[in-house]
Structure 1
Amino acid sequence: MTDAKSGRPAGDGPDANREGRDMSSGTPAGRTGDEYADRELLPTATGAQTLAAVGSLLRGHRLLTALAFTVLVTGTGIGLLTAPLLGRIVDLVVAHRGTGALTVPMVLLVAVAVTRGAATAIGHSLVARLGETVLADLRERFVGRALRLPLGRVEQAGSGDLTSRVTGDVTVIAKAVRVALPEFAAALLTIVLTLAGLAVLDWRFLAAVLLAVPVHILTVRWYIPRAASVYARHRVAGGALQHQLLDSIGGVRTVRAFRLTDVHAQAVQQRSQEAVGLALRGIRLVSGFFSRLNAGEFIGLAAVMVTGFLLVDDGSVSIGTATAAALYFHSLFNPINAALFLIDDAQSAGASLARLVGVSSLPEEHEAAPGHGTAPADGSVRVSALRHAYVDGHPVLSDVDLEVRSGERVALVGASGAGKTTLAKLIAGVHEATGGAIAIGGIDTRDLGPAGVRRAVTLISQEVHVFAGPLAEDLRLARPRATDEELRAALAGVDALDWVEALPDGLATVVGDGGHRLTVTQTQHLALARLVLADPPIAILDEATADAGSAGARVLESAAVRALEGRTGLMVAHRLPQAATADRVVVFDGGRVVEMGTHEELVAAGGRYAALWAAWSDSRRAPSLPAQRPPGDRPAEH
């Protein structure tokens, strides 16, 4: 887990460059994103899986599907009466029947136009409504599943992969549903029913029209495989570009610190060029597609007109019937072009849909295995011979053994890159260990399952997200049915009630984007209050006070001690005074535990911890520079 339901991965400190990795992006510091293609991206569904998922969604809306189809068929069928009516008018004119004979056909033409227009509008509306409803269902499935993905899996794929699916892919599908789907459905029905109308006039007209079919088939066979490849690669390239932007902007402090600005700028340019190049290939494919369609139109119309001339010449059909046949085929130009052109949108939407279905169809996380209890017996944590490496051959943790008693508060101390945050993430289930074992309450985490670990462990980092909306709803993320009194009790438990009641609307104050801006200390207070509301047996504080400034850190350290009452606490200590309040201090160096004991024992031992404490104490006695801003809080970045 991360901070009490925030969903943000924890870093290893404010400088982001900890344990050889830029924790803001999950990639090694200084890497430019060229390894994106080598990442294990989130899955993409096959064509069969995508169709099965769409069928499953449509089955939940059978009535709306049937109604939309019926209205579209009715409107299209009525519209097909236009060509025969015009042919009848031609025959009446040729026979010199007078203007009076034209009244009924003309009235019928007006009625057909009005009725077809109304039916088409209603049909398009129903299809769009059906598409939006199905898209909403799919989007809810996707978001629900994405929120339950293990953070280690998301980091492995890269943040750009998931965010591009949430943003770009959903946008592409939504556009297709609102515009392309109604037009495609109407065009397909028009083509089918028009071909049937040609057969009714004379089967030889249908045979003439079919001469254009090979051209269309060859055009589609030429276009689809090329377009499918280009659009699928373009979606991946878009995800890679988005990942690189997030990587560079999210880790901007690390990029500047290591003078990697030019490297990252070149990487962004390279990703942009790849995406643009694939987009241009798509445009060239579309141009070639329509040039081939124009050839098919010429062949088909010429064949119908020649057939009509021959049939009229031998008296098989009237001039009006031949005219109706020519009008029928001419009326197919737009539907055929639309249907085949919308294959372009369908390819793009299909690629995006497969990416959404691929995530939404991921299997649910397993619960506790049979034969084990559904919950840990207590809040104890046992780590045995634990090993972990983000990159093969570069271990971050090596044979770590640690036992934390239920209810004990343990501080993890060490230099940047020592392995503190990695251990915290492994215990919280963010990553799976390379080797060794972790047991929570006597149950191995592999038997407990990811969902079981989340119920038992809450991890709070320095990166806390404030969701837009009333502050009370932000708190209820940890306990949805909590009453206002329970919220106030949780806030009081972490010394936050006074400033919350001082807000313009108290618990009803809108916070987050567009709302009241909270300070860093207030934001961390919310995270600690969520912790109290969630009430897990084990809590991990990963430098949760690091960004609050000296005055704010002291306030939060006191609040953290109160929030940890009655539960096991692991504190990745940024400030040594926080470590000094723990029951036990564990010192890390080079991915190993090098010292362990109480604060007093370790100071007296004169080892690494004593050296750190002496250095910190000396820094407190050193003259400080004039403050650049009043002490206390700085605004939090949400």
Structure 2
Amino acid sequence: MSAQGNLLPVATGRESWRTLRALARARRWPLIAAVAALVAGSLLAMLTPLVLGRIVDLVAAGKGAAAMTGPAAALVAVAIGAAFLKALGQVLVARVGEPSVAELREKALERALDLDLETVEAAGTGDLVSRVTEDMQLVAEVARDILAYFAISLLTIALTVVGLGALDWRFALAGLCAVPIQALTARWYLKAAPEVYAAERVARGALAQRQLDSIGGARTVRAFGLGERHLAGVAEASRAAIGLAMRAVRTQTRFYGRLNGAEFVGLTAILIVGFLMVRADIASIGEATAAALLFIRLFDPINIVLGLLDDIQQGGAGLARLAGVIDMPRRPAPEHPREPASAAVETEGVTFAYRPGHVVVDGVDLSVAPGERVALVGASGAGKTTLVKLIGGVHATGGGAVRLGGVPLEDLDQATLRRTVALVSQEVHVFAGTVADDLRLAAPEATEERLWEVLTMVGADGWATALPHGLATVVGEGGHRLTPTQGQQLALARLALADPPIAVLDEATAEAGSAGSRELEAAAARVLRGRTSLVVAHRLSQAADSDRVVVMAGGRVVEQGPHEELIAAGGGYARLWEAWRAHRAE
């Protein structure tokens, strides 16, 4: 497996074949039946040129129309039988390909969802998105539309060469004149194309990342006047992708031009040898005709096989990128997993850096009692979000320890960790599907009564009742559009359904307006009641309502205590509070 910079790894050829073999092994009998049907169909179709050659000999011998009845009937029977077997083979190939593609898609998505966030962030979400969308589509097209034609064409080529040899070895030898040109063409193409297509896939991933960064951070881009810079970046990535696409087109054009030259050389040799053999009375006109027709019959399958190498190469590049994700090493499971004894949270000397030498969290000691609500405040870049991600197990610490209920994070398996702590961020995402489906992502077994209960808890029952079809209303992509406040209410409702003992809210009310923020803060307070909770406070009203306020600066804890005590102390938090109150009064 190879890696390209910070991008996710790409599987080697051997690793990709291993993935394919595993998929095929699970469906060996339909695959064997498909190969048998395709072989039988190709054998039957090969009789057509031979029968036509026989008709030519009958005409040359001056035979009447009655002599043509048998060969004509044979042609009809051959056509019907070959068409049936070809269709059967394609159906059986589909029965192998479609489930294989579905399994590959499920494995890739399952592994993608299980990746560490820091790995995805280092690679860029565009790289991962392009793999599970564009690369998956390429592989699906190869399996669905290309695999059957490729297999049929290979069989046709092999059996037709055997047929030429059966007529006369000299016909086969003449036809082989095209092989050196075709072999050199294929060799050149197989060497040149993978590099081109792999580079094009990477360039498309980089373009997707540029677009995601610009669209996802549109507000920040506009606020800081970075529009021109981002447009220039997208344009640069687009030019790189277009340049590689044009390079791929030029490679493909040269490829087909050389194949046409090989066809001309091979057919010319067959016709010359046929003429000489007929003149020397070694072969009949019908046999020479059959040989020429057999060679002409090779044009399409050879062009299909070599032409489909274009799609196979792209599909292979896509498969390697998907297999690279699927085969990524998983986070090691604890040898002796433990269960947290309580809902307490403790960090001891925790440090973290996204890049060497750029420490974001620096030696933080923090202890949160079961059921306590702690607000984290501080300037942007103080390390608040990173700290709560470390507590939630999203990132692995660079030093120090995080303990939940007295148990270090590394002693918790992933299922226990996700059951113990849940994080709601400011990034609103409404999943495509019904409202009920969106909610049941957190608790698949939840009854409709329970769904309404949590919607009422977060203050969403009013708008949910007004939806055209209630909980059966489709929301998300292509469905009913929800406001940011409504999307965050759904996220809080999912948190209530998941019912973790420890909850983390990372500026979960930041995207709402002032009225929406008050609604969300009240909803969050109801959901967090009775849980150990850490709230990255976007508004200091959240800090004032907390049991304790922790002030961070430069990755360190600089103040902590109840809101009133910190105000009385007259330190940095008190000044921050006064500035925030003055801003609200304006």
- TM-score tier by shorter-chain length is over 0.9
CA distance in 1, matches of 2:256, 2:542: 70
CA distance in 2, matches of 1:334, 1:503: 57
Percent identical among aligned pairs is 56
Q: Which residue among 250, 253, 277 is the counterpart of 2:243? A: 277
1:364, distance to aligned residue in structure 2 (A) = 4.0
Partner of residue 8, structure 1: none
CA contact (8 A) 2:38 2:85 kept: yes
Partner of residue 602, structure 1: 566
1:546, distance to aligned residue in structure 2 (A) = 1.9
1:533, distance to aligned residue in structure 2 (A) = 1.1
CA distance in 2, matches of 1:240, 1:134: 28
Which amino acid is 1:611 matched to? R
Cα deviation, 1:464-506, whole Å, max 9, x if unaligned, reads 2111222111110001111112223323333433443343433
Partner of residue 486, structure 1: 450
Partner of residue 422, structure 1: 386
CA contact (8 A) 1:365 1:450 kept: no
CA distance in 2, matches of 1:556, 1:269: 39
Q: Secondary structure in 1 aligned to 2:362?
A: strand
Which amino acid is 1:370 matched to? E
Tell me, yes or no, if structure 1 residue 516 matches structure 2 residue 469: no
CA contact (8 A) 2:336 2:411 kept: no
Cα deviation, 1:90-131, whole Å, max 9, x if unaligned, reads 221222222221121112112222322333233334324432
Tell me, yes or no, if structure 1 residue 497 matches structure 2 residue 461: yes
Cα deviation, 1:342-396, whole Å, max 9, x if unaligned, reads 11111011101111122123344443x22341x2222211112122222332222
Counterparts of residues 401-550 of structure 1 (less than 5 Å): 401-550=365-514
Counterparts of residues 86-125 of structure 1 (less than 5 Å): 86-125=52-91
Distance of aligned partners of 1:588 and 1:180 in 2 relative to their CA distance in 1, 3 Å threshold? same
Partner of residue 564, structure 1: 528
CA distance in 2, matches of 1:424, 1:78: 68
Tell me, yes or no, if structure 1 residue 323 matches structure 2 residue 285: no
1:426, distance to aligned residue in structure 2 (A) = 1.6
Tell me, yes or no, if structure 1 residue 554 matches structure 2 residue 492: no
Q: Secondary structure in 1 aligned to 2:424?
A: strand
How many residue pairs get aligned? The number is 584
CA distance in 1, matches of 2:46, 2:14: 35
Instruction: Output the aligned Cα RMSD.
Output: 2.0
CA distance in 1, matches of 2:277, 2:285: 9
User: Which deviates further from its counterpart, 346-355 or 144-153?
Assistant: 144-153
Higher RCO (C-alpha under 8 Å, 6+ residues apart): 1
CA distance in 1, matches of 2:35, 2:525: 63
Which amino acid is 1:203 matched to? W
Counterparts of residues 13-92 of structure 1 (less than 5 Å): 39-92=5-58
Q: Secondary structure in 2 aligned to 1:332?
A: helix
Q: Which residue among 585, 589, 601 is the counterpart of 2:553? A: 589
Q: Which residue among 147, 166, 188 is the counterpart of 1:222? A: 188
CA distance in 2, matches of 1:101, 1:541: 88
Partner of residue 214, structure 2: 248
Distance of aligned partners of 1:234 and 1:621 in 2 relative to their CA distance in 1, 3 Å threshold? closer
Tell me, yes or no, if structure 1 residue 159 matches structure 2 residue 137: no
CA distance in 2, matches of 1:213, 1:159: 45
Q: Which residue among 108, 119, 133 is the counterpart of 1:142? A: 108
Tell me, yes or no, if structure 1 residue 307 matches structure 2 residue 273: yes
CA contact (8 A) 1:411 1:582 kept: yes
Q: Secondary structure in 1 aligned to 2:282?
A: coil
Which amino acid is 2:303 matched to? N
Distance of aligned partners of 1:46 and 1:562 in 2 relative to their CA distance in 1, 3 Å threshold? same
1:451, distance to aligned residue in structure 2 (A) = 4.5
Partner of residue 371, structure 1: 336
Partner of residue 396, structure 1: 360
CA distance in 1, matches of 2:34, 2:359: 59
1:318, distance to aligned residue in structure 2 (A) = 2.3
1:293, distance to aligned residue in structure 2 (A) = 1.4
User: Which deviates further from its counterpart, 348-357 or 309-318?
Assistant: 309-318
Partner of residue 621, structure 1: 585
CA contact (8 A) 2:337 2:413 kept: no
Partner of residue 296, structure 1: 262
1:172, distance to aligned residue in structure 2 (A) = 2.0
Q: Secondary structure in 1 aligned to 2:348?
A: strand
Tell me, yes or no, if structure 1 residue 176 matches structure 2 residue 142: yes
CA contact (8 A) 1:494 1:560 kept: yes
Partner of residue 170, structure 2: 204
Which amino acid is 1:338 matched to? I
CA distance in 2, matches of 1:72, 1:543: 60
Which amino acid is 1:409 matched to? R
CA distance in 2, matches of 1:275, 1:620: 48
Tell me, yes or no, if structure 1 residue 578 matches structure 2 residue 542: yes
- Structure 2's unaligned 5+ residue stretches are none
CA contact (8 A) 1:150 1:450 kept: no
Counterparts of residues 226-241 of structure 1 (less than 5 Å): 226-241=192-207
Which amino acid is 2:244 matched to? L
Partner of residue 351, structure 2: 387
TM normalised by structure 1 equals: 0.88
CA distance in 2, matches of 1:251, 1:497: 31
Which amino acid is 2:186 matched to? V
- Structure 1's unaligned 5+ residue stretches are 1-36, 623-638
Which amino acid is 1:619 matched to? H
Counterparts of residues 623-638 of structure 1 (less than 5 Å): none
Which amino acid is 1:434 matched to? G
